[in-house]
Amino acid sequence: MNHNGRLWLGVEFCAIFLGLPFIFFFHPTRWDVHLAIWTAGLYGLLIIKRQSNFSWRELWHGTDWAIPQRKMALVRFCTAVPLIILLTYTITPEHIFDFPLRRPWFWLLVMVLYPILSVIPQELVFRTFFFRRYGPLFRTRWALIAASGIVFGFAHVVFHNPVSPTLSAIGGLMFASSYNQHRALKWAVVEHAAYGCMIFTVGLGFYFLVGGFRH
């Protein structure tokens, strides 16, 4: 890629992954945030569809995710569950398991709709599009993984609390590392949804809602 091409990519990268979160930090609404992520997802899809080797099947299924790597991801998740429970009990004990206990039907609805309406467009943008579009901006694969995790965390500044960006950056690094192994949107969605649903269930979900956190 020539200098002008890299420059354009850099401008686009900053506009999408730094500019949009910065704008919505000052005027966040739930509809605007969801509209932005879906718009970015559709834009990313239009861009990667123009690639000569584009395939819907390859985008969704990726390459084979080796069994040892899947087991490591499962161990990582099982380790994260008690840590998130401990964190919830430490910083907001009054909310621990409050959501499914107090509003079980709405909790169940969130468990079904959250992966479809929120996780799919997020993973399309921050993993599929990010890896396919911005690889030339980074010298190594690990730099690309780190950048994916960092901008994923930064995007969560719209929720006006330190918990959401911090946990999202950690999660983003894990999701990006896994995506680097399988390149499958489906596995990225499954892993992200597992962590997100767990966080909403345990009691930290209000940190990931516009207006959900109050100082």
Q: Model confidence over 150-193: pLDDT tens digits? A: 999 999 999 999 999 999 999 999 999 999 999 999 999 999 99
Q: Is 74 part of any domain?
A: yes
Q: Is 215 part of any domain?
A: no
Q: Is 157 part of any domain?
A: yes
Q: Is 180 part of any domain?
A: yes
Q: Are 154 and 29 in contact (CB under 8 A)?
A: no
Query: Tokens 């080797």 appear where?
Result: 53
Residues 6+ apart with CB under 8 A from 190: none
Q: Is 213 part of any domain?
A: no
Choose between 63 and 85: higher pLDDT.
Answer: 85
Q: Is 199 part of any domain?
A: yes
pLDDT at site 1: 66
Distance CA 183, CA 64 (A): 9
Q: Is 190 part of any domain?
A: yes
Distance CA 44, CA 52 (A): 15
Confidence category of residue 51, pLDDT binned at 50, 70, 90: confident
Report the domain count for the chain: 1
Q: Is 214 part of any domain?
A: no
pLDDT at site 111: 97
Q: Output the average pLDDT for the chain.
A: 93
- Which structural domain range is residue 42 located in? 3-208
pTM of the model: 0.94
